[in-house]
Amino acid sequence: MSEQHPKDDTTHFGYQTIEADKKQAMVADVFHSVASKYDLMNDLMSFGVHRLWKRFTIDMSGVRPGNSVLDLAGGTGDLTKKFSRIVGPSGRVVLADINSSMLNVGRDRLTDQGYVGNIEYVQANAECLPFDDNSFDVITIAFGLRNVTDKDAALRSMTRVLKPGGRLLVLEFSKPTNPLMSKAYDLYSFSALPVMGKLVAGDSDSYQYLAESIRMHPDQETLKGMMEEAGLVRCSYHNMTSGVVALHRGIKP
């Protein structure tokens, strides 16, 4: 299942239906706008819980010293920073993001904190990754897949650059499993987030888009099926915070 529709070549930008070839630029505008306040907004929006979600992702990745890791849509570098410490001087971490503003914020932040030596920074489109086949032991994409125009193409591209036995981990907002949580989450997302975005980042429209993009993202079972279609095996997912977020994991055979 893909977000693109071959007959009319349209896709979703939040709740809007737009021409597929315009989505990338529209998403880029969102992240150019929010890049400088991205980390602060993440802490405020999730009450800091995003750090626990990311820690669980690292734990589930099985990353070891000497591994090669791709942190896709890595933004400001939360996962890259932790992976850099784990893989050590014999490993490498590639922080890749399609958005130059996010990539610059991440590079400046990690360099200022002394993370140099085993980290590379690459501006890359998830749908056509500029890496050789069988390059990475682990790929993570955290809160980025829902912004990709053709998710199926991106999953195929990630599978291609994984080494046999390599692991893909997709951390993303998903469908809450509890009806009460779902109602509370909707109210929070569509009432509080745009207001918070306006007050903190000076941009309510971008956070309205983020709330809508979460609702348009495939649910847990659908995404699991998409990963299997891309060629991954032993695909599974783990719900966190009552399914507000899910971590999907698949292995390249």
Is 179 exposed, middle or buried, given 0-12, 13-18 or 19+ CB atoms closer than 10 A?
exposed
Task: Look up tokens 């907004």; give the residue.
Answer: 41
Evaluate whether 147 touches 236 at the Cβ level (below 8 Å): no
Beta-bridge partner residues of 230: none
Maximum Cα interatomic distance, the chain, rounded to a whole number of Å: 50
Burial 60-79 (b: 16+ CB within 10 A, else e): bbebeeebbbbbbbbbbbbb
Question: Does 125 appear as a known binding residue?
Answer: yes
| Beta-carbon count within 10 A of 187 CB | 10
Nearest alpha carbon to residue 194 among 70, 44, 78: 44
Q: What torsion do the CA atoms of 174, 241, 142, 83 make, to the nearest 10 degrees? A: -160
- What are the backbone dihedrals phi and psi of residue 41, each rounded to the nearest 5 degrees, phi first? -65, -40
| Separation CA 29–CA 26 (nearest Å) | 5
Residue ranges of the annotated binding site for S-adenosyl-L-methionine are 76, 97, 125-126
Annotated binding-site positions:
76, 97, 125-126
